[in-house]
Chains A and B, each alone.
Chain A
Amino acid sequence: MSNSISSLWKNEDWWAVWFGFAIFIAALLGWVPKIPKVGKWSANPVDAFVIIKDGIITGNVLVPLLLLMIFLGILTAIGIHFMKVQKVGRYLIGFIVIFILATVSYWIAHQTNIEYWGLSYAMWALLVGLLVSNTIGTPKWLKAGAQTELFIKTGLVLMGAEILFKKILTLGMPGLMVAWIVTPVVVIFMYIFAIRVLKMKNKALAIIIAAATSVCGVSAAIATAAAACAKKEDLTLAVGMTLIFTVAMMFFMPLGIQFVGMNPILGAAWMGGTIDSTGAVVAAGSMLGPDAEKVAAVVKMIQNILIGLLAFCVALYWVTKVECEEGHKPNAMEIWYRFPKFVIGFVGASLLFSFVVVPATGGDFNVVEASYINPVTKTLRGWFFCLAFASIGLESNFRDLASRMEGGKPMVLYVVGQTFNLILTLAVAYLAFMVLFPNAV
């Protein structure tokens, strides 16, 4: 009993929940100013750090970024102190360097031509970290700051605020059919295929790839990796694969759809259900016209909302089936004890914002997004994820990554799963938008 009570301040899952909800409360009370971020730039790299209004430079974000680094450092150091995973001083030194690496990653990712390619901060943060760890090696003092799990879990709790359930009805029944029927089928198919057919030993990697392929790439990969207590290298592999295939699908799917003369709305729903990241979906949808862009983005958004449910199911399955001795049925207490608590924070945040905060502001999503999510929780979540990816890179090396490839099985899983996803999504999208609800949009 005393163990379970002390886990409230000794377990990083709980700290992620405390941090997340402390930020929510502060944001809802209006105590948190707008969180700074690295801006967009095209020709002049300095533009990323200046604030331009009506063509005139009115300030810079360097001081706000420094304050953010101090705030995040102190906030997370409180958890580090109580969990006793690291000496606070050592952690803070490492944290400062990781924050700088994360800032560099954002700076690269926000160059406009790089944004057109769809190469997000997650990829650059990983690469920057991998560069250090695979060349000079990550020194111990730097590793002390790489608290990947804490960053990921806090980011996920914050992400809960962005997953607003009521949005699933935006496109009505056809949108729900494409996003919520196909997705669970593909996840289950891919997991069974990985374990039974490919005989993959690494079940965590199998479920991460399945989630990334069927739900929404990197975000779903992070959520399921944390829920399944996966190794960092598994997440790196899954994210690497999904980023490469997302760019390829963004480049070729709209061209294929135009080539065969497919109905743009059907094509948009197909791409929304299959291309992994939202940005790539919007870009590919836009190729088919403005209406297709809207439909594709909204199908993806409805699918995004599945992340919380998926993380919850994966965590429950892992606790009750995967990490359990064969034949042993864990009781409710055991399940609760082993269940990753940050998932409760993640789902709780989503429920809080969906069913309390949005109704309390008159049911207007836009008000909640403009007042609390966009200026505070979304930006902070991005920073936590960026810190996490830089940390993962710093803790991964190519030799470990290669050893997790199991003779290319993860790649086979991705290709087979994505092919199945493409076929099933097209069939269901056709049924939903062309046969059952042809006048939906």
Chain B
Amino acid sequence: MKFFVGLMLLTGMVLFFSSGITPPGICGEVLRHNQANNIDASPLLYSECDHMAELEAGVLRLREEARERLER
């Protein structure tokens, strides 16, 4: 019995979080932003992030642009 109650709770959690429902107002703003831009917020470590190489390259580019701005 306990197991089935627990299983129902876990299933309920999965259904809720997978439904795409977002908290109302500003509480759900980041979540809606993630949905709109397809941002996976679950990686634990930097290497799990799919586009980490692009982000790193982007920072190097930003630093290069800043250096050029300074030289000018």
Contacts and interface: CB of A to CB of B under 8 A. Distances in A.
Interface of A: 108-109, 111-122, 127-128, 131-132, 134-136, 159, 162, 167, 170-172, 216-219, 250-251, 254-255, 277-280, 282-284, 286-287, 290-291, 293-295, 297-298, 300-301, 304, 365-366, 369, 373-374, 378, 382, 439-441
Contacts of B48: 278-279, 378, 382
Interface of A is mostly: helix
Contacts of B10: 127-128, 131
Contact of B30 (A121, A136, A284, A298): A284
7 contacts: A120-B42, A132-B3, A278-B46, A282-B39, A284-B30, A294-B58, A441-B66
B43 interface: yes
A282 B49 contact: yes
Given A136-B3, A286-B33, A441-B66, A159 B45 contact: yes
A162 B45 contact: yes
Which 5 A-B pairs give the minimum distances between C-beta atoms?
Answer: A118-B41, A279-B43, A301-B46, A135-B3, A283-B41
Contacts of B63: 171-172, 440-441
A122 B44 contact: yes
Contact of B26 (A115, A255, A279): A255
A368 to B, nearest CB: 11
B17 A287 contact: no
A286 B6 contact: no
Interface of B: 2-3, 5-7, 10, 13-14, 17-20, 26-27, 29-31, 33-35, 37-49, 52-53, 55-56, 58-60, 62-63, 66, 69-70
Nearest to B34: A116
A385 B31 CA distance: 26
A180 to B, nearest CB: 15
B17 A113 contact: yes
Nearest to B3: A135
B46 A300 contact: yes
Nearest to A279: B43
A288 to B, nearest CB: 10
Contacts of B17: 111, 113-114, 117, 119
Given A171-B59, A278-B48, A251 B14 contact: no
Contacts of B39: 116, 282-283, 286
B59 A167 contact: no
A300 B5 CA distance: 39
A31 B40 CA distance: 31
B20 to A, nearest CB: 5
Contacts of A277: 42-45
A254 B37 CA distance: 16
Contact of A115 (B13, B40, B46, B58): B40
B55 A293 contact: yes
B49 A297 contact: yes
Contacts of A291: 58, 62
A117 B16 CA distance: 11
B2 to A, nearest CB: 4
B69 A131 contact: no
Nearest to B19: A113
A109 B18 CA distance: 9
A216 B45 contact: yes
Nearest to A438: B66
B62 to A, nearest CB: 4
A114 B42 contact: yes
Contacts of B56: 167, 170, 294, 297-298, 301
Contacts of A131: 3, 6-7, 10
Given A162-B47, A283-B34, A298-B55, A116 B40 contact: yes
A282 B30 contact: no
Most buried by A among B7, B20, B37, B59: B59
B4 to A, nearest CB: 8
A170 B45 CA distance: 17
B53 A369 contact: yes
Nearest to B27: A251
B41 A117 contact: yes
Given A115-B41, A278-B44, A297-B49, A136 B62 contact: no
B2 A135 contact: yes
